[in-house]
Every structure is written in C-alpha cells, then in structure tokens.
C-alpha cells in the first residue's frame, strides 16, 4: 500500500482539474499511438465533458456556494455579549519573504484579507485579543503568526492586544494548539476564508472549541453567486479546485484523524 503522505499527495494531484485534463490528453496521445481509435474517441468525449464541467460556472459556482453559504458574516451589533473577552483567531493564509517590502506586502492576499477581518472585529470588541496563527515553511525565518502581528502593528493594533501561536502548520494543528493552550477559557471568534470556514469550524469543534464564525475572502459576490451559465474560464477551474479540495480535506480528517 502507498504510505499515507504519498496517497494524500496523489489525491491532491488528481483534485486539480488542470492535472486531470492533462492526463486525459496524454491518454488520447497514447491511445492514438497504439491505434485504438474507439478509445481515442471515448477519451476525447470524456475530455470535452470534463472541460465543460470544470470551466463553465454551473458546477464550480454550486460547489463554492455550498461552502460559503454555511456561515453568515459576523455582525458585532447583533452579538449577545460584545463585552466578553473574545479571542479572535486569525488562521494563517500564507506569506513570502522579501526584505525590501513592509510586512503587509509580504502577506498573501488570503492572509491579508483574514487579518483585516480580524482587526475589524478587534476594534469593535474592546476587550478582545487578536490571536494570530501559523508557522513557516522555511526554518529560521519569520513565521506566519509573526508576519501577521507585524502587519497588525503597522495598522494600529497594540502589541499587548495580540497573541501568537507560531508552531501550527495546518488547520488541524491550529485547533489542537489553541485547545491545548487556552481550552475554553475565552469565547472564540474564528476568522478564515469563507470556503475554508466549514473545515476550520469542524477542526475546532473536534478539540472541544465552539467558535463563532467570521468568514471573509468570499470568492463569489453579488450576482456572481447566481451566475450558472457562461463561457469557460480559468477562474471557474480554480473555483472548482478550491471547492473540491475543501470537501476532500474535510473527508480526509473525518477518516484519518
């Protein structure tokens, strides 16, 4: 049997619609070379159907909506206890390294969007702490948590209002580390991308933490949420990839963790 890490890598590869399309095209070339004409026709039809499914809006939009519609944006004015000492957990979303740039320019758009949402909530909830999370893929370099903190300070957040957890490498570890460190001592608001939120909430609930969800970085806005038909685009293929990968990750955690 394949080791778990190799199996996961294979699944991730196959979840990318570009990779599947390339495999189908390679299969067509192989079948043509072997003079399997019926197989060539079957693979060509399959490739066409696959391309239509993943690159036109219907399937990608349906999948993304099913994730993004699970949690409404958090309205502080409608919260029952805004005076509570909330921990606003901003999950890591990626960053790079370039010493020429300020911290905010080294964050990915994903991470920056999550941080801005966290700061919005922090400024409206006077007793809250901004808990910033994430490690680094490059040993010895600035962690995601530290880069988020540096950006938050640039945007006017006080250092004493921030907490860091620099060890977690993924969502599962972010939930595990928070539960081990803080438990249920504070009510929690969880900030992450809207497509990622169902998986993130599932992880925290697994460790006994029931967070309020504050999704951000929506991929579908306004009329785009109901655009079921249109021409094939690369954006739709990316939406399909993100949506299917999110569901696959949730399934994986339910089975293996």
Q: Per the CATH hierarchy, to which homologous superfamily does domain 75-216 belong? A: HUPs (3.40.50.620)
Q: Looking at the DSSP assignment, which residues form a beta bridge with residue 88?
A: 130, 189
Least confident span in 55-69, 70-84, 190-204 = 70-84
Q: Is the pLDDT of residue 231 over 70?
A: yes
The residues, any chain, with a CB within 8 Å of residue 242's CB and separated by 6 or more, are 64, 195, 219
Instruction: Give the pLDDT of residue 153.
Output: 96
In contact, 214 and 121? CB cutoff 8 Å: yes
Instruction: Give the pLDDT of residue 103.
Output: 92
The residues spanned by each domain of the chain are 4-67+231-256, 75-216
What integer is the mean pLDDT of 8-32?
A: 83
Strand, helix or coil for residue 196: coil
The percent of residues above 90 in pLDDT, for the chain, comes to 67
Q: Which residue has the higher pLDDT, 254 or 153?
A: 153
Instruction: Give the pLDDT of residue 80.
Output: 87
147 vs 130: CA distance, rounded Å: 13
Instruction: Give the pLDDT of residue 5.
Output: 52
Task: Tell me the pLDDT of the chain averaged across its residues.
Answer: 90
Instruction: Give the pLDDT of residue 8.
Output: 57
When pLDDT is cut at 50, 70 and 90, the band that residue 176 belongs to is very high
Q: Is the pLDDT of residue 142 over 80?
A: yes
Task: Give pTM, 2 decimals.
Answer: 0.86
Instruction: Give the pLDDT of residue 9.
Output: 65
68 vs 46: CA distance, rounded Å: 30
Instruction: Give the pLDDT of residue 2.
Output: 42
At 216, give phi and psi (nearest 5°). -150, -175
Instruction: Give the pLDDT of residue 1.
Output: 41
């Amino acid at each position: 049997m394949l080791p778990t890490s190799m199996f996961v890598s294979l699944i991730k590869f196959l979840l990318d619609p570009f990779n599947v399309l390339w495999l189908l095209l390679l299969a067509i070339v192989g079948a043509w070379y072997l003079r399997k004409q019926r197989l060539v026709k079957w693979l060509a039809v399959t490739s066409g159907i696959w391309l239509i499914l993943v690159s036109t809006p219907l399937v990608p939009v349906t999948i993304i909506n099913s994730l993004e519609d699970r949690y409404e944006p958090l309205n502080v004015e409608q919260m029952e206890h805004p005076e509570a000492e909330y921990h606003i957990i901003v999950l890591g979303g990626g960053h790079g390294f370039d010493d020429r740039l300020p911290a905010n320019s080294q964050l990915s758009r994903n991470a920056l969007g999550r941080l801005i949402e966290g700061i919005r909530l922090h400024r409206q909830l006077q007793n809250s702490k901004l808990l910033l999370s994430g490690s680094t893929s490059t040993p010895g370099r600035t962690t995601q948590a530290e880069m988020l903190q540096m950006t938050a300070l640039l945007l006017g957040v006080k250092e004493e209002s921030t907490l860091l957890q620099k060890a977690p490498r993924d969502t599962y570890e972010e939930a595990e580390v928070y539960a081990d460190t803080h438990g249920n001592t504070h009510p929690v608001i969880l900030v992450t991308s809207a497509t990622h939120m169902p998986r993130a909430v599932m992880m925290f609930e697994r460790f006994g933490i029931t967070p309020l969800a504050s999704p951000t970085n929506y991929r579908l806005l306004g009329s785009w949420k109901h655009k079921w038909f249109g021409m094939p685009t690369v954006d739709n293929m990316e939406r399909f990839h993100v949506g299917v990968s999110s569901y696959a990750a949730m399934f994986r955690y339910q089975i293996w963790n």
